[in-house]
Amino acid sequence: MPFHVLKPSCEPFKPGLPVPESHAALPTTQRELEALLRTERAVLETEIHATIQGDIAARVEAEVARRVELEVDRQVEAEVARRVTAEVDRRVAIEVALQVQKLLEEIRLARHKMFAASSEAHVGQGSLFNEVEALVGADGDQDEGDDQPGTASRPAARGKRRPLPPELPRVEVVLDVPESERLCACGQHMVKIGEEVSEQLNIIPMRIEVLRTVRPRYACPGGDTAPVIAPVAPTALPRSNFSAGFLAMLLTVKYVDGLPLNRFTRVLERSGVEIPRQSLARSVINVSKVLQPLHNLARDALLDSGVIHMDETTVQVLKEPDKAPTSQSYMWVQRGGPPGKPVILYDYDPSRSGQVPLRLLEGWQGYLMTDGYEGYNALVRTGGIEHLICAAHARRKFVEAKRAQTKGKRGRADQAIDYFARLYRIEREFKDATDEQRLHARQTRSLPVLAALREWLDAALAVVAPKTKLGEALAYLNKYWSRLVRYTERGDLPIDNNSAENCIRPFVIGRKGWMFADTPGGAHASAVVYSLVETAKANGHEPYTWLKHVLERLPLAKTVEDIEALLPWNVDIQQVAMDLVA
């Protein structure tokens, strides 16, 4: 690199100034001056060379560092891109595999729903088409040893026919031997030594009659007093020509037998009576208003119980304000009641929000058994309510996972189902035991099974993909574990919510027939009637006889005590049956 050498300046000597030491021996000749200049130039060149060399070295080092840093950044970016691409590919492969597995599970579940039994228990497809053959002998006694292991299979023995109910009326048909055939060959007349009796069940089609009430009117011949006439007996619907028996049958066929009103009109037409469906619908709503006090008193009894089961199901109401006709509303079901007084209540509400349980169970405290729906949490947060979660729902998710797995392959879902089977086996064994005995069994036998199930669950959660059916079942069991095991704290607590689900079943069967309610008033009427007929059944009553008994006596009730006397647990079953026969 070129550089310039700076020549030293030679200032003239000024008298009076001190002489520098470097100038103490100044050159006196031209040769000395040139030698001195060469020496000074060499020193200066060395210094400048060292300075420039250091500067170049620093610049080279900085350039090398920069290029190394750029190369490192390039390689880092390339490595990151490679790893990201590999991770993305891996995750995509995993997601694709999960989606494929999910689709396979959905295909297996769809195939199961289409072709297999709907029950959780395994039932062969052939039984759907051979119902009569499958049930032959099921109601009767079989010979001992028919099902003994190791014996050759043979057709089940035909069961013994059950006798017909003795309380049914009998109509005797006597088939006697003609007089001419009772003369013996020896010339003597035969005498009766016995008889053979066989019975057949007979049905007389619906008999419809008109109750004609006649009230004679009396008056004085002289006209001195006003005529007298017997007062009209109070009826459930005063301005209707439907009797208590007709109304009881109307409610029974719709809410117990699941027969829509338009079909019931055709049943009536076969007997020569034409009644518009609208008239029947209005009568149902009006009767429900008459029965409302019983529904209210039944709710008071429900809130006296320490354990309440609760569930909800959908219902469509066409003319619900501010809702589309195709939208879903809900029927909420509660089951409880003090010992010996089972209560089943239905309540209609257009919403499924958590405010509905708050309204229905306001002020109540105790144990609440539900499924995993989060809408019940607002009620639980009010305090004084211990929340139990249904074990059957948790088990059902593993049953669904089992259906989704490869056919014939035993997996983790089977292991979970086995644990639940052990728990339910204990419950069945102590079904009729006392609460103390059941609590002891739960503490000594159920808790070890639950501990083993918890250990199995923790191990499975770490290795099962969460988006599979099995992963969903594991997540559900893990999420609600603390509330699933609480039934072991006492002997009177339920293990599942099957009681409420069994109460929903009659409503669902009826809904398949009538499909929807026209107005909220009709839905509320259905809730009232379903509540009373199902509560009557739970207390051992035949629904029609109890409804007829109530509708005949409810118009005569004057006090709350009179109405309470008509609640199902306060009505004598034998007395109701005798009144019906009379």
| 217: helix, strand or coil | strand
Nearest CA to 571 out of 581, 253, 506, 547 is that of 547
pLDDT in tens, 419-442: 999 999 999 999 989 999 999 999
Q: Looking at residue 308, what DSSP letter applies?
A: E
The answer to whether position 122 is within a domain reads: no
Residue at token pair 């002489």: 19
The DSSP result for 144-204, as a single string, is TTTT-TTSPP-PPPPPPPPPPPTTS-------PPPGGGGB-TTSPBP-------------P
The answer to whether position 236 is within a domain reads: no
Contact status, residue 571 vs residue 580, Cβ threshold 8 Å: no
Q: Once rounded to an integer, what is the mean pLDDT over residues 154-181?
A: 80
The amino acid sitting at 11 is E
Tell me whether strands 228-229 and 217-218 are parallel, antiparallel or unpaired: antiparallel
> Higher model confidence: residue 133 or residue 94?
94
pLDDT in tens, 233-282: 899 998 889 999 999 999 999 999 999 999 999 999 988 899 999 999 99
Query: pLDDT over 90 for what percent of the chain?
Result: 48
- Band the pLDDT of 26: cuts 50, 70, 90: low
Query: Domain span at residue 42?
Result: 29-107
The answer to whether position 217 is within a domain reads: no
Contact status, residue 250 vs residue 277, Cβ threshold 8 Å: no
Q: Which residues have a Cβ under 8 Å from the Cβ of 509 and sit 6 or more positions away?
A: 258
Residue at token pair 């109304």: 247
The answer to whether position 309 is within a domain reads: yes
Q: How far apart are CA 551 and CA 293, in angstroms?
A: 12
Nearest CA to 415 out of 429, 399, 404 is that of 399
Helix (H) or strand (E) holding 366: strand 366-370
The DSSP result for 538-561, as a single string, is HTT--HHHHHHHHHHHGGG--SHH
Q: How far apart are CA 492 and CA 490, in angstroms?
A: 6
The answer to whether position 282 is within a domain reads: yes
Q: How far apart are CA 399 and CA 433, in angstroms?
A: 29
The amino acid sitting at 207 is R
List, in sequence order, the alpha helices (H) in 256-372: 261-270, 277-302, 355-360
Contact status, residue 536 vs residue 501, Cβ threshold 8 Å: no
pLDDT in tens, 323-377: 888 889 999 999 999 988 999 999 999 999 999 999 999 999 999 999 999 999 9
Helix (H) or strand (E) holding 404: helix 391-404
- Band the pLDDT of 545: cuts 50, 70, 90: very high
Residue 152 has pLDDT above 70, yes or no: no
pLDDT in tens, 85-103: 888 888 787 777 776 766 7
The answer to whether position 194 is within a domain reads: no
Task: Give the side-chain half-sphere CA count within 13 A for 2.
Answer: 1
Q: How far apart are CA 21 and CA 26, in angstroms?
A: 10
In the prediction, which pLDDT does 437 show? 95
Which of 107, 132, 147 is the C-terminal boundary of a domain?
107
Dihedral over Cα of 503, 508, 511, 517: its sign: positive
In the prediction, which pLDDT does 91 show? 79
Q: How far apart are CA 536 and CA 505, in angstroms?
A: 16
Q: How far apart are CA 252 and CA 49, in angstroms?
A: 117
Which of 107, 125, 155 is the C-terminal boundary of a domain?
107
Q: How far apart are CA 520 and CA 524, in angstroms?
A: 6
Q: Which residues have a Cβ under 8 Å from the Cβ of 357 and sit 6 or more positions away?
A: 310, 332, 375, 376, 378, 379
Residue 184 has pLDDT above 70, yes or no: yes
Residue 195 has pLDDT above 70, yes or no: yes
The answer to whether position 347 is within a domain reads: no
Phi and psi torsions of 82, nearest 5°: -65, -45
Q: Which of 26-40, 144-158, 320-334, 559-573 has the lowest mean pLDDT?
A: 144-158
| 576: helix, strand or coil | helix
Task: Give the side-chain half-sphere CA count within 13 A for 456.
Answer: 18
Number of domains in the chain: 2
183 has which bridge partners?
189
Tell me whether strands 366-370 and 307-315 are parallel, antiparallel or unpaired: parallel
pLDDT in tens, 443-480: 999 999 999 999 999 999 999 888 888 999 999 999 99
Q: How far apart are CA 105 and CA 107, in angstroms?
A: 5
User: What distances in angstroms separate CA 154 from CA 128, 146, 148, 264, one per listed residue?
Assistant: 22, 8, 11, 46
pLDDT in tens, 287-337: 999 999 999 999 999 999 999 999 999 998 988 888 888 889 999 999 999
Mean pLDDT of the chain: 84
Q: Which of 101-105, 214-218, 220-224, 553-557 has the lowest mean pLDDT?
A: 101-105
Q: Which residues have a Cβ under 8 Å from the Cβ of 553 and sit 6 or more positions away?
A: 566
| 405: helix, strand or coil | coil
The answer to whether position 579 is within a domain reads: yes
Residue 201 has pLDDT above 50, yes or no: yes
Dihedral over Cα of 35, 36, 39, 44: its sign: negative
In the prediction, which pLDDT does 554 show? 94
Residue 7 has pLDDT above 70, yes or no: no
| 101: helix, strand or coil | helix
Residue 141 has pLDDT above 70, yes or no: no
In the prediction, which pLDDT does 475 show? 95
Q: Once rounded to an integer, what is the mean pLDDT over residues 391-413?
A: 86
Longest dimension (CA), the chain: 197
Which of 83, 107, 131 is the C-terminal boundary of a domain?
107
Q: Looking at residue 317, what DSSP letter applies?
A: B
| 425: helix, strand or coil | helix
Q: How far apart are CA 510 and CA 489, in angstroms?
A: 37
The amino acid sitting at 218 is Y
The amino acid sitting at 327 is S
Structure tokens at 93: 């492969």
pLDDT in tens, 44-84: 888 888 888 888 888 888 888 888 888 888 888 888 888 88
Sheet with 307-315, edge to edge strand ranges: 343-349, 329-336, 307-315, 366-370, 385-389
